[in-house]
Structure 1
Amino acid sequence: MAIRRIVKFGDSVLEKECRKVEKFDKKLHQLLDDMKETLADANGAGLAAPQVGILRSVCVVDVGEGPIELVNPEIIATEGEQNGAEGCLSYPGEYGLVKRPMKVTVRAQDRDGNWFEKTGEALCARAFCHEIDHLHGVLFTSHVSRMLTPEELENGVIEDEE
């Protein structure tokens, strides 16, 4: 396993559509293992393959209950709504208010190609949406109602004008 360099905003790889994974081999397993280690090292909630420079439909989400590997994921159901602070490992130190579903069900493949469904709520739902967006070249900033100021982040005062 290895910690990979996280691509920062401005790199065009972040705005490209990823290709579906068709080979479930050692190379994919290595990518997933490296992504989990990179995510843990960066103390993030999720990491998509384009964030480490790989245009494949792969992401890892870990909101404190252990890592969830998603290969070729798609959102198949959403429910409710949440509006809160969201950041991105490719935008270090920047956060904005983003509206996302409160509950999200994804259909994906595991590292061996087996299909499964997983439902996440609150932060997990937000992370599923955020990481799957990355796989389509969509950045969280395109969903932001407004960016948060350093003072709001420091004081924990995060309110929306809606």
Structure 2
Amino acid sequence: MSVQPIRLLGDPVLRTPAKPVVDFDAELRRLVSDLTDTMLDAPGAGLAAPQLGVGLRVFTWHVEGETGHLVNPTLTLSEETQLGPEGCLSIPDLSIDCLRAQDVVAHGFDMHGEPLVVQGSALLARAIQHETDHLDGVLFIDRLDRESRREAMRVIRESEWFGGPPQVKVSPHPMLGKGL
């Protein structure tokens, strides 16, 4: 449908747990389309509805050429972990190693209400965990060890985009323009 502004750190919607989707209708299909268009334009490996200001449990991903979406996900995580670089479209210009499960099995639904199971490892597992965290009001910086979080917060505080009102900010992505 269309590229939408991405909410940035500091917007309360990013810290608010999303509600389960109950209506699998044209509005949900439009949301999935907007999420996909915005994610691909950014570009990013995933995007969750709260990042567009919508408090529903739905996200999209684009990993290794494969694009998909998941509604109302529940995850089963492997005990084996991976440490690797992670970033977030809601926290521009920050990439830092984050510990995640190596493998994930995600159960949920597609935008038509059909049951869906997605199995992923490595980057896909990381993206699914990251986006599901967004649905729970959790950001990847919350998952960092103390020292890494301190460094991340320093970088964020020094960022051009961070600080003060307004609480609702627009992505500094060049296609969207700064401060729109």
Q: Secondary structure at the match of 1:62?
A: strand
Residue of structure 2 equivalent to 1:68: 68
Q: Secondary structure at the match of 2:63?
A: coil
What TM-score, normalized by structure 1, do the two folds share? 0.88
CA distances 1:47-98 after superposition (whole Å, capped 9, x unpaired): 0000000000000011123211100011024241100111000000012221
Q: Structure 1: give runs of 5+ residues left out of the alignment.
A: 151-162
Residue of structure 1 equivalent to 2:14: 14
Matched-pair contact (CA < 8 Å) for 2:70–2:116: no
CA distance in 1: counterparts of 2:39 and 2:63, whole angstroms: 11
Alpha carbon RMSD of aligned pairs, Å? 1.4
CA distance in 2: counterparts of 1:89 and 1:77, whole angstroms: 24
How much does 1:112 deviate?
0.6
Residue of structure 2 equivalent to 1:159: none
Residue of structure 2 equivalent to 1:58: 58
* Number of equivalenced pairs: 150
Matches within 5 A, 1:50-129: 50-129=50-129
Residue of structure 1 equivalent to 2:175: none
CA distances 1:91-123 after superposition (whole Å, capped 9, x unpaired): 000122210011111001001111121101100
Residue of structure 2 equivalent to 1:137: 137
Q: Secondary structure at the match of 2:124?
A: helix
CA distance in 2: counterparts of 1:45 and 1:77, whole angstroms: 19
Matched-pair contact (CA < 8 Å) for 2:108–2:116: yes
Q: Secondary structure at the match of 2:78?
A: strand
Which stretch shifts more, 120-129 or 72-81?
Answer: 72-81
Residue of structure 1 equivalent to 2:176: none
List structure 1 runs of 4+ shifted beyond 6 angstroms: none
CA distance in 2: counterparts of 1:111 and 1:63, whole angstroms: 19
Matched-pair contact (CA < 8 Å) for 1:79–1:104: no
Matched-pair contact (CA < 8 Å) for 1:29–1:111: yes
Which residue identity does 1:141 align to in structure 2?
I
CA distance in 1: counterparts of 2:77 and 2:94, whole angstroms: 29
What TM-score, normalized by structure 2, do the two folds share? 0.80
> Identity over aligned residues, as a percent?
39
